[in-house]
């Protein structure tokens, strides 16, 4: 017999457009000169307990999250956006309230040799 309970879409907290000048990339010029990166983080969690008690301790403090993500973004350079995205996701999943996270890293100044608007890598990770 199928479960009669309706499926509930998870609540989400998003920090979008977090921006920093950083030195990620596989090319030497990227490592020396750096460029602008943007990050979007969308966290899935149950916000009902926080809402019921109007209690910041029962949800994700997005100001603290933004600072932690910014620290990773401006921290140790990596070659691949995939690696950077994983590091950012790991920061989000440290919080036991977070069930899953989607990270998108934007690299709008990448050198592709042709005109373009943006390059992104997006990953989704769930708590295991």
Nearest partner of 110 among 119, 101, 97, 102, judged by Cα: 119
The reply to whether 115 falls in a domain is yes
- Residue 87: predicted pLDDT: 98
Q: Distance between CA 73 and CA 96 in Å, rounded?
A: 22
Q: Name the E strands within 23-113.
A: 35-45, 100-106
> Tokens in use for 78?
């990596």
The reply to whether 119 falls in a domain is yes
The reply to whether 5 falls in a domain is no
- Residue 128: predicted pLDDT: 81
Task: Give the helix, strand, coil percentages of the chain, each rounded to 5.
Answer: 30, 30, 40
pLDDT tens for each residue of the chain, 128 residues long? 555 555 688 999 999 999 999 999 999 999 999 999 999 999 999 999 999 999 999 999 999 999 999 999 999 999 999 999 999 999 999 999 999 999 999 999 999 999 999 999 999 999 98
The pTM (predicted TM-score) of the whole model is 0.92
The total number of structural domains in the chain stands at: 1
The reply to whether 4 falls in a domain is no
CATH number of the domain that residue 86 is part of? 3.30.1130.10
Active site members: 107
User: What range defines the domain where residue 109 resides?
Assistant: 11-126
> Tokens in use for 104?
């998108």
**CA 57 vs CA 62, 75, 96, 107: distances in Å:** 12, 27, 12, 34
């Amino acid at each position: 017999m199928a479960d009669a309970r309706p499926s509930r879409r998870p609540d989400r907290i998003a920090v979008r457009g977090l921006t920093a000048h950083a030195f990620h990339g596989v090319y030497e010029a990227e490592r020396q000169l750096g460029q602008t990166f943007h990050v979007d983080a969308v966290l899935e969690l149950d916000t009902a307990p926080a809402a019921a008690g109007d209690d910041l301790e029962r949800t994700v403090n997005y100001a603290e999250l933004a600072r932690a993500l910014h620290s990773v973004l401006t921290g140790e350079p990596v070659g691949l956006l995939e690696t950077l995205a994983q590091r950012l996701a790991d920061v989000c999943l440290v919080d036991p309230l977070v069930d899953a996270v989607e990270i998108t890293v934007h690299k709008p100044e990448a050198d592709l040799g042709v005109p373009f608007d943006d390059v992104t890598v997006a990953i989704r990770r769930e708590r295991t």
